[in-house]
Amino acid sequence: MMESDVSMDEMKRLTEQHYQSFLQARLAGAKALARLDAAMQARHALLPMPLTLRELALLPQLCDASLLALARSPHCGHWSRDDIGDTDPAQVLAEDVAYAEFSRAILEEAARHLDAIHAGQLPYVADAAFATADSGVLARAARVASYRDEGWFAPVIATLLPQACVAPGTARSAPSQSLAMALGHGVETIPTPASVEALRTALAQVRHAGIRKKLERNLKPAEKALARRA
């Protein structure tokens, strides 16, 4: 057994689809919820995912429609351009005040974190700014803000997208490839004037060839979708 008294098999079973696990545990009672929390903490000890844990802690505050949107969607972890046109759980979450407030908090924190890396206040390690699992949470939060047309989102995405895909200095690596590409897909899904401009800025600055190729695929569809949305 692991220190949390959760076996590796149980950790995998509970955490691979933790939104579904939460709904089942909520019906089963306090012991099942504690078991899920222990499993998520055990996974976090192996593969840190602090924002995913914060989102899990938020789930009891969400309305049933939000929980079902997360549990039903095969795209709740990561959203790619292949998913565009499918139901986006962020559309439902955008109507949930608790999730909207959570989205603002984590996106503003993420922007400050990247600012600190670029200012040399935190050490730079390629692809280590955010856990891969947490990139999906941040990207979904960005889509929630876009669906809500939040005024605070403009300066945040202006920092978040370009700085996620450009390393400090002249390195061709990136603070977070997973976040950069997930945000690009989000801009294509539900563009705002600010997010499209942030995508253009990112493309003008990015040195990582793989990220550039991905973001280039997002730009024209995002511009067309923004014109339709206007």
Please report the pLDDT score of residue 160 as a whole number.
97
**Contact at 8 Å (CB) between 175 and 124?**
yes
Query: How far is it between the farthest Cα atoms of the chain?
Result: 56
Please report the pLDDT score of residue 153 as a whole number.
98
Q: Is the pLDDT score of 4 beyond 60?
A: no
Q: Any residues with CB less than 8 A from the CB of 197 and at least 6 apart, and which?
A: 158
Taking residues 123-147, report their average pLDDT: 95
Does the pTM surpass 0.75? The reply is yes
Please report the pLDDT score of residue 85 as a whole number.
63
The two structure tokens encoding residue 20: 């579904």
**Contact at 8 Å (CB) between 124 and 170?**
no
Q: Is the pLDDT score of 13 beyond 90?
A: no
| Domain extents in the chain | 1-46, 50-229
- Tokens 């976090």 locate to 44
Q: Is the pLDDT score of 16 beyond 70?
A: yes
**Contact at 8 Å (CB) between 211 and 174?**
yes
DSSP type of residue 121:
S
Taking residues 201-214, report their average pLDDT: 96
Q: Cα(82)–Cα(21) distance, rounded to whole angstroms?
A: 26
Half-sphere exposure of 202 (CA within 13 A, CB side): 36
Please report the pLDDT score of residue 113 as a whole number.
98
Q: Write down the H helix ranges in the chain.
A: 8-15, 18-28, 30-46, 50-58, 64-72, 89-93, 97-118, 132-148, 153-165, 177-189, 193-205, 209-229
Q: Is the pLDDT score of 77 beyond 60?
A: no
pLDDT tier, 2 (very low <50, low <70, confident <90, very high otherwise): very low
Q: Is the pLDDT score of 121 beyond 70?
A: yes
Torsion angle (degrees, nearest 10) of CA 60, 139, 78, 189:
120
Q: Is the pLDDT score of 136 beyond 60?
A: yes
**Contact at 8 Å (CB) between 49 and 134?**
yes
Q: Is the pLDDT score of 82 beyond 70?
A: no
The region of weakest confidence among 16-20, 135-139, 208-212 is 16-20
Q: Which tens digits make up the pLDDT trace of 26-62?
A: 999 999 999 999 999 998 988 899 999 999 999 999 9
Q: Any residues with CB less than 8 A from the CB of 112 and at least 6 apart, and which?
A: none
Picking from 148, 75, 68, 72, the residue whose alpha carbon sits closest to that of residue 107 is: 148
Q: Cα(10)–Cα(13) distance, rounded to whole angstroms?
A: 5
